[in-house]
Amino acid sequence: MTFSEKFQKTTDVKHWLGDMEVDHFLYTAGIAGEAFFVALRDKGVILGTRCELCGITYVPPRIYCEHCFAELNEYTDVGLRGRVRSFTIARLGKDGNELKKPEIFAVIDFGSGTTGLLHKLGEVTPETVKVGLDVEAVLKPKSQRGGHITDIEYFRPVG
Ligand SMILES: [Zn+2]
């Protein structure tokens, strides 16, 4: 099941006949997640939702504010440019072996008062990455986007 498929009957989620597969859990992206991935795939934009009461813009979007529980139902394009809030450098792969080239992962803010989007950095080295670095999203061509977070290939430094 992908983010675009929806349950039509409640029994589809409450009943499980036969053996339950425990190695293939599938999760839906939820209402806000679906909006986020569809917009990324179809329009090449990054969406958030803003709580006017708290002054927080959630990226990726949430349908409720985590601070005041207000319902958030207006999506906003936060742009493709952001700023590195924090980062980490991975030098080992999933198998525990050293990577040929370190990977850099960062939390990226999209203006003040936004929550951060976790993603990979590119076109930057462990020696040149820094907190506060201005970055922009590098998207896959539209024909190759499938509604996944990897539709954003990475974020690269601006300028
Ligand atoms: Zn709020």
- d(CA 154, ligand 1 centre) in Å: 30
Confidence class for position 55, pLDDT limits 50, 70, 90:
very high
Is pLDDT above 60 for 1?
no
Of 110, 90, 109, the closest CA to residue 101 belongs to: 90
- d(CA 51, ligand 1 centre) in Å: 5
Of 25, 114, 108, the closest CA to residue 62 belongs to: 114
Each domain of the chain, given as residue ranges in start order, spans 11-157
| Strand 47-51 versus strand 56-58 pairing type | antiparallel
Is pLDDT above 80 for 158?
yes
Of 41, 89, 42, 35, the closest CA to residue 59 belongs to: 35
| Whole-number pLDDT of residue 35 | 96
Q: Would you state the structure tokens that stand for residue 30, as one six-digit string? A: 């939820």
| Whole-number pLDDT of residue 4 | 64
Name the CATH superfamily, with its identifier, for domain 11-157: Nucleic acid-binding proteins (2.40.50.140)
- d(CA 53, ligand 1 centre) in Å: 5
Q: Can you tell me the mean pLDDT for 87-95?
A: 94
Dihedrals phi, psi of 99, to nearest 5 degrees: -75, 150
Dihedrals phi, psi of 7, to nearest 5 degrees: -70, 135
Q: Can you tell me the mean pLDDT for 80-94?
A: 96
Tens-place pLDDT, residues 97-124:
999 999 999 999 998 888 999 999 999 9
- d(CA 58, ligand 1 centre) in Å: 10
Is pLDDT above 80 for 11?
no
- d(CA 73, ligand 1 centre) in Å: 12
- CB neighbour list of residue 38: distance below 8 Å, 6 or more residues apart: 3, 4, 147
Give the environment of ion ligand 1: residues with CB less than 5 A: 51, 53-54, 65, 67-68, 70
- d(CA 61, ligand 1 centre) in Å: 13
